[in-house]
Amino acid sequence: MTYQTQFAQPQFANPIKYRNPILTWFVWPLITLGIYHLVWYYKIHREMRDRTGDPNAPVAGPMLVMLFLGWTFIAPLISYYRTGNRIKTTQAQVGVQPTCSPIIGLLLFFVFGLSVLYYQIELNKIAAPH
């Protein structure tokens, strides 16, 4: 028995957690002085990796970019754009209409950080498909 067959998740499992977008975007980051944003960013990447089963999907890298290269301003923009692409790809892989637009997410980054709200709404479509 190989490692992958021994520890593979069942196909019906959905590791992407449904989160309240308003709490994710505004309340928790406000209470935790912004730390929740880094936790959320790490968790969504881990959940997307677990859902798609892609062992090469980045998990800690995007969060570390935000933590250590956030001051460069260009690195977080690239990271947010790629996150939008990952959400769109994950939507397509799980059979949900891929409606996430990385361009919209990137533009909303400049409007009160609304990209977090937008990306969480898109992730909730995977967490609880109708």
Q: How confident is the model at residue 2 (pLDDT cuts 50, 70, 90)?
A: low
Tokens 């800690």 sit on residue: 60
Q: Per the domain annotation, does 56 fall within a domain?
A: yes
Domain extent at residue 120: 17-127
Q: Per the domain annotation, does 105 fall within a domain?
A: yes
Q: Residues 6 or more apart from 55 whose CB is under 8 A from it?
A: 49
Helix (H, G, I), strand (E, B) or coil at 49: helix
Question: What does DSSP assign to residue 71?
Answer: G
Query: Domains in the chain: how many in total?
Result: 1
Q: How confident is the model at residue 125 (pLDDT cuts 50, 70, 90)?
A: very high
Q: Per the domain annotation, does 64 fall within a domain?
A: yes
Q: Per the domain annotation, does 41 fall within a domain?
A: yes
Cα–Cα distance for residue pair 92/74, rounded to 1 Å: 28
CB 98 within 8 A of CB 91: yes
Q: Per the domain annotation, does 5 fall within a domain?
A: no
Q: How confident is the model at residue 47 (pLDDT cuts 50, 70, 90)?
A: very high
Question: What is the pTM assigned to this prediction?
Answer: 0.86
Query: Diameter of the chain by CA atoms?
Result: 51
Q: Per the domain annotation, does 98 fall within a domain?
A: yes
Q: Per the domain annotation, does 26 fall within a domain?
A: yes
Per-residue pLDDT reduced to its tens digit, 78-121 = 999 999 999 999 999 999 999 999 999 999 999 999 999 999 99
Question: What does DSSP assign to residue 125?
Answer: H
